[in-house]
Amino acid sequence: MWVLRRVLRRLRRPWVLSWGLAALFAALYSCVAVNRHRRVLTQAYDLGIFEQAVRAYADGRAPIVLLKGPGYHLLGDHFHPVLVTLAPLYRVFPGAVTLLLAQAVLMALAVVPLSRWAHEVGGPRLAGTVGCLIGLSWGIVEAVADDFHEIAFAVPLLACAATALGRGRSAAAVLWALPLVLVKEDLGLTVAAVGVLVFRRAARGSGIRALGFGTALFGLAATALTMLVVLPSFNPGGDFAYWGQLGAGKAVGAPWELAGRLFWPPLKWLLLGLAAATAGFLGLRSPLALLCVPTVGWRLIADNPHYWGVGYHYSAVLMPLLIAALVDALDRTGAFARRPDAPGPAPLDAASAPAAPDAAAVRPARRALVVAGLVAAVTLPVYPLHELAAPGAWATSPRLAATKALLARIPDGATVAASNRLAAQLAGRTTVGLVCREPVPSPADDLSDGPQWVAVDLADPSVHAPCAIEDTRWMLGRYESFGYRPVVADGDLRLLRRP
């Protein structure tokens, strides 16, 4: 019995609890992501694209990505030089699984700073609760199961920056935030928001105030430079590829027209409501919630419906900021007795927070935690983490076995034109392009210029984007008309070989 008590005491230590939870969620994320790749649920857009880029970096080449188009330089799509840091790991362990595991670990690292801060605020129980809230948060769970994306690097950086801000460590917050400009072009706006908060809480005439002002300018300048200069210089069209989706060139119009654009259709209300509930609503009182404004703002103003909802990977960067806002709001209510040995200065905007618990503040604090916990519980069956307990997710169906057999026929190093999901399986060991975009030789040309293999799954539900099913069927017919011989014709699975 004494052994159990000793173990429990050790588990209550901040570093054991935080790193233990991070390891647990890293393992859970890894199981989900790798198993979905095994089941051929990952896609060329985006896992295959990022693997081709990291594979190029690992070989010492520029990130030319055939899946985006012949000769396409990926730094003309989004600005993410941080991917270079994965090249040594990929060099030793080549394959898509390396990217998926790296993403799982990066996402899980957000648990560490937030749970340790929560431990300072309210002890081990609050630390465990906050660690589970961030680990089970719908935005992160959806992202780790949705292929691989560069924002995996942003999640732990944002968690550390927001935690440092909440603990009053302005310089540390800036240092954690600055690398965000190397993750994606829009995150420079979040860096600017960090600078604004640092400037806002510093005393007049202090060096910290100057640091905040400089950080805000740096973030804005970094975004402007990447979107107006760097990305256009690599893009085949000589422009930032997403201006159209952001509504560039549209007239602002009357204020009510702008409001309608921001808050209509109602799908945007779901995003805003679920984000607020993730912070237990109480977190909206924290200045840290303002760090969400840049990301939420460009998503609401964009014309792309994918940005408006709660799917895909777009909300992952919001999760550490919302949970950090919740912890900061809980701390400022005075509902928890702040430990006298807790490191760091007073929390953000909380110089007058009481040292002992405020009984009147306990109820709203508990209500906020219950709301945040309910969000995690309700979204758990909706998002892919529930697949860990689904027996069917671990089985190998005859269809999956047939798909694996088709892929096994394609030798390493071959050139392939493939449909979306099959391309993700081949990106690490072949030179693969999308079947609807791969240039097809004309009958008068030498067929040796065409891909050696054509692999298509006509039942792939993802073929509507980037390749519509009609385009895929049409291209498949063209290859057959040029003499490509069928090797596999198993239902909707097709494998052709160049004569």
Distance in angstroms (rounded) separating the CA atoms of residues 334 and 308:
35
pLDDT tens profile 363-410: 899 999 999 999 999 999 999 999 999 888 999 999 999 999 999 999
Distance in angstroms (rounded) separating the CA atoms of residues 321 and 292:
7
Query: CA 481, 485, 488: angle at the middle one, nearest 5?
Result: 125
Distance in angstroms (rounded) separating the CA atoms of residues 159 and 66:
34
How would you write the chain as a 3-class SS string?
A: CHHHHHHHHHHCCHHHHHHHHHHHHHHHHHHHHHHHHHCCCCCHHHHHHHHHHHHHHHCCCCCECHHHCCCCEHHHCCCCHHHHHHHHHHHHCCCHHHHHHHHHHHHHCCHHHHHHHHHHHHCHHHHHHHHHHHHCCHHHHHHHHCCCCHHHCHHHHHHHHHHHHHCCCHHHHHHHHHHHHHCCCCHHHHHHHHHHHHHHHCCCCCHHHHHHHHHHHHHHHHHHHHHHHHHHHHCCCCCCCCCCCCCCCCCCCCHHHHHHHHHCCCHHHHHHHHHHHHCCCHHHHCHHHHHHHHHHHHHHHCCCHHHCCCCCCCCCCHHHHHHHHHHHHHHHHCCCCCCCCCCCCCCCCCCCCCCCCCHHHHHHHHHHHHHHHHHHHHHCCCCHHHHHHCHHHHCCCHHHHHHHHHHHCCCCCCEEEECHHHHHHHCCCCEEEECCCCCCCCCCCCHHHCCCEEEEECCCCCCCCCCCHHHHHHHHHHHHHCCCEEEEEECCEEEEECC
* CA dihedral over 416, 420, 421, 424, signed as positive or negative: positive
- Cα-based distances in Å from 427 to 14, 49, 77, 177, 361: 41, 8, 19, 32, 54
Instruction: Spell out the per-residue pLDDT of the chain, length 499, in tens.
Output: 544 455 445 556 888 999 999 999 999 999 999 999 999 999 998 899 999 999 999 999 999 999 998 899 999 999 999 999 999 999 999 999 999 999 999 999 999 999 999 999 999 999 999 999 999 999 999 999 999 999 999 999 999 999 999 999 999 999 999 999 999 999 999 999 999 999 998 767 678 999 999 999 999 999 999 999 999 999 998 999 898 887 655 555 556 666 777 888 889 999 999 999 999 999 999 999 999 999 999 999 998 898 999 999 999 999 999 999 999 999 998 877 665 545 444 555 544 444 566 667 788 999 999 999 999 999 999 999 999 998 889 999 999 999 999 999 999 999 999 999 999 999 999 999 999 876 665 655 556 678 999 999 998 887 666 778 888 888 988 898 888 999 999 889 999 999 8
CB contact at 8 A, 459 and 442: no
Length of the chain: 499
pLDDT tens profile 373-382: 999 999 999 9
Backbone angles phi, psi at 431, to 5 degrees: -100, 105
Distance in angstroms (rounded) separating the CA atoms of residues 265 and 251:
19
Distance in angstroms (rounded) separating the CA atoms of residues 330 and 81:
37
Torsion of CA 90, 92, 97, 102, to 10 degrees: -60
* CA dihedral over 332, 337, 342, 346, signed as positive or negative: positive
**Tokens 């901040």 sit on residue:** 14
Please state whether beta strands 415-418 and 453-457 pair in parallel, antiparallel, or not at all (unpaired).
parallel
Residue 130, C-beta contacts closer than 8 angstroms, at least 6 positions apart: 114, 115, 117, 118, 323, 326, 327
Predicted local confidence at residue 345, as pLDDT = 46
Distance in angstroms (rounded) separating the CA atoms of residues 280 and 432:
45
Amino acid present at 203: A
Predicted local confidence at residue 3, as pLDDT = 45
Return the structure tokens found at 296: 């939420």
